[in-house]
Amino acid sequence: MSIDLSQFFDVFFEESFEGLDVMEAELLNLQPGHEDSETINTIFRAAHSIKGGSGTFGFTSVANFTHVLETLLDQIRDGRRQLTAEHVNLLLQSVDCLRALLTALQAEETPDLSNANDLKVKFEVILGGEESASSDTVDNAPQGRESQTYQVDFKPLPHLFKTGNEPLYMLSELSELGDLETHAFCDAIPEIDDFNPEDCYLSWRLYLTTSQPESAIKEIFEWVEDDAEISVTLCGGLFEDDVSASATPEPEFDKEKTTGKETQNIDVTKAPLAAKAKPETSKKSAESTSIRVGIDKVDSLINMVGELVITQAMLTQLGEQEPTENTLAAMQEGLAQLAHNTRDLQENVMRIRMLPISFVFSRFPRLVRDTSQKLNKQVELKLLGEQTELDKTVMEKISDPMVHLVRNSLDHGLETPEDRIRAGKDPVGTVTLNAFHQGGNIVIEIMDDGRGLNTEKIKNKAIANGLIQATDELTTEEVNELIFRPGFSTADEVSDISGRGVGMDVVRRNIQALNGSVEVTSAKGVGSTFTIRLPLTLAILDGQLVKVAKHTYIIPLISIVESLQIQIKKVSKVGNGLEVLRLRDEYIPILRLYQLFNHDGAIEELDKTLLVVVESDNHKVGLLVDDLLAQQQVVIKSLEANYQKVNGISGATILGDGRVSLIVDISGLIKLSGLKRPGTQELLVEQELDEAVS
Amino acid sequence: MITEKASINEQVILADRDGDTQFLTFMMAGEEYGMDILAVQEIRGWEEVTAIPNSPQYVNGAINLRGTIVPVIDLRVRFGLPQIDYGALTVVIVVSVVIKEATKIMGLVVDAVSDVYSIDEETAKDVPDFQDSENSQFVQGLVNVGEKMVVLLNLKKILDLEVKHSEQLVVGG
């Protein structure tokens, strides 16, 4: 019987990655010297199921590597070995390594085993000594590794059959590990009158010659541990005589005295290879697109659909009746109920995509641990609001910017323990991640109790970079804002942690791409707080409907700074007919939407139109529209799916009357207008303005 | 529109099913064109569309097809035929075609739908001598149905917006 195992691959990988996450989280909880046996057990179980799964699916490289890991964990669990910080580090590295192996296998690539092999060597050094022989199974090649003979005494308790276990299967499984010689003891079988066919009266002494470790043998008997007496011992050395000659079983079965004193004679045969690697399927496994949903969410959806059906039935019934005052009122009531049901249903469908933010938060303990070690800083990480839910897509995209901000806090924000003591602070710095809902948004705060932003330094740097003039009077907030400008880093030197060419500007851009915003508050010597605000989902946005000629467009509310009527005298032309509005002390380029979108019939006189000032990538531009219409939440639909990418348009939506309306993409619009100088982040207008002024 | 649809459905059922390919035909500038009926999702009357900025002239705009945004293409403009005012018979044939591994749903505006034929594709003659015309790429073949000639269309080419149309007529009136 052959089953196509590849259909289970997705589940295996999903579970394995979950297992690795569990291992990582629990390893971080481990305090060498004060380890909790339950924690070790959890780690062991996770490793064990990864090993089992990868063995089943033929990923031998993973199975073999996990095996060494497991051996060490097993020894720690049994108290045979003391856990050290070194072990934890090594285990953490192994988790990374396994993750890389599994990722490669999932993508159906050949995994790079060099790292795994290096780590294996380290494990073997630790395991060393007498254990090394039994644990040295990582190298899967049968030659060059010695087979050993184990004596296994297996005496099931009479009730074994009732637990659904069958010794025959265990024996046949054992025989797959190597050469097996079995001796059954039948002396416990009672007289026929006393014989109970449901009891097990047999016991065995087994001699197994195998290159597999002792743990592989134990594993087979794992399920019957409580229902049998089992002992596995290594027979001393290799023997010369013939097996059959000396295989005289002892009449008494004494499991206590089984050490290699009975010299048996067994051919040293090569153990069969562990399950051969299954040929990889050619099917490309795409990025994980499945989602695990709590059954309660599904239940509530089913309830809601039930309600909806009832309401619909009621409305149908009303529709069939003679129209009277009463039916009309009932109909209106029914429609209100329908609206209510629909809204509930919408909210709950959205909730399916929502996952607790702990999925993102959970990667930070590791990051903080590694980074603080590198920086020689003592850091405590606090996680708050881990159960706050966020759309899966948003979650995937927010984690990179968050990593950057946390690294930044550790590197720039927190002081060294010495500096902290000098400043009268606890030598252990605190980084807090906090998530909560506010309005229709999720707010994520990254707080540190470090030195705060150095406004003087930022200002000087900004002046040096020509971002501001030395004479500019800026408020603290405005100065702090400067760190989000391109090419800005306050780190004096490029370190391993920051200064890798990714700046705060990229963080801000990534967050803005999610229709979110990020801002910073800081107090000198007290710490800084980065606040990220994100929409709960990418499927819905708050939009401002505007009229351009006879067309209705939607501008994302989050990018709108203000809307105003234009005073002609404040508009000047620079360069190639580019109009610029002087707004307070800023120059705002005016983009005539009807021109960019090639629509006829729009109002062209500036003073009869409205200007919607929007901001994108730190650039403000004004969009000229005929009129402002309503504001409303819109469901984002893809225009690309059936059509193609349209410059300046990010998607479409359907308005209340069923018409399609397009959503304006501000940064795409700036590109479309040719305002941006190619290859830079600068707006052309800034250069033009300089020329115009001089 | 409703009667129009009903009559088409009727003909689909009446058409024989001996393995021949069935084609839906429609009229445009006096010519009868046909397309594989399996590509046709539905037929709708003309409705207002939302303009898509900077789109090619033959793209009328986008409509809402039960929650999906569907672009609508004017086949006359795509073929370089003179435009006419849309009237009561103007229909949008919604088709779904796999283009570059993605299934795209699009609407085609034509003058009026005409008939459903079962045609043995073998009998479809190769495109005659207008190979020099760029529009010939939109034509899959020509068939005779009784006295009439029907132009079978290559939807994949027509809906692939990267394929440029020409100003010439496909088949002279």
Residue in A with minimal Cα distance to B47: A659
| Contact residues, chain B, for A652 at CB < 8 Å | 50, 62, 69
Percent of chain B at pLDDT exceeding 70: 74
Q: What is the DSSP letter of B18?
A: S
Beta bridge partners of A615: A620
List, for residues A304-352, the tens digit of each pLDDT value.
899 999 999 989 988 888 888 888 888 888 899 898 888 888 878 877 8
* pTM of the predicted model as reported, rounded to 2 decimal places: 0.53
Q: For position A686, what pLDDT does the model report?
A: 63
Q: For position A544, what pLDDT does the model report?
A: 92
- Report the 10 Å Cβ neighbour count for A15: 15
| Nearest-10 Cα torsion for A251, A255, A257, A263 | 60
List, for residues A510-554, the tens digit of each pLDDT value.
888 787 888 888 888 888 899 998 877 777 788 899 999 889 999
Q: Region A56-69: what's the mean pLDDT?
A: 82
| Contact residues, chain B, for A660 at CB < 8 Å | 49-50, 61-64, 69
Quote the Cα angle for A590-A596-A599, to 5°: 120
List, for residues B73-116, the tens digit of each pLDDT value.
998 888 888 888 888 888 999 999 888 778 889 999 988 888 88
List, for residues A6-50, the tens digit of each pLDDT value.
777 778 888 888 888 888 888 887 777 677 778 888 888 888 888
- Put simply, the answer to whether A597 touches B55 (Cβ < 8 Å) is no
List, for residues A185-225, the tens digit of each pLDDT value.
887 888 888 888 888 888 888 888 877 777 778 778 877 77
| Contact residues, chain A, for B52 at CB < 8 Å | 639, 643, 646, 649, 662
Q: Among A547, A643, A655, A662, which would you mutate to test the B interface (most chain B Cβ atoms within 10 Å of its Cβ)?
A: A643
Min mean pLDDT across A94-108, A122-136, A369-383, A487-501 is at: A487-501
Beta bridge partners of B82: none
From residue B71, give the alpha-carbon distance in Å to each of A15, A348, B61, B139: 42, 31, 6, 21
A629 falls in which pLDDT band (50, 70, 90)? Answer: very high
Q: Region B12-28: what's the mean pLDDT?
A: 67
Percent of chain B at pLDDT exceeding 90: 17
Is it the case that residue A475 has pLDDT exceeding 50? yes
A555 falls in which pLDDT band (50, 70, 90)? Answer: very high
CB B112 within 8 A of CB B25: no
Is it the case that residue A77 has pLDDT exceeding 50? yes
The conformational region for residue B101 under phi > 0 = left, psi -120 to 50 = alpha, else beta, is left
B123 falls in which pLDDT band (50, 70, 90)? Answer: low
Q: Which residues of A are annotated as catalytic?
A: 48, 70, 408
SS3 of A533-547: EEECCCCEEEEEEEE
List, for residues A422-461, the tens digit of each pLDDT value.
888 888 889 999 998 876 678 899 999 888 888 888 888 7
Phi (first) and psi of residue B31, to 5 degrees: -100, 155
Nearest Cα residue to A155 out of A116, A126, A183, A121: A183
Q: For position A275, what pLDDT does the model report?
A: 35
Q: For position B105, what pLDDT does the model report?
A: 92
Average pLDDT score over chain A: 78
Does residue A76 or residue A259 have the better pLDDT? Answer: A76
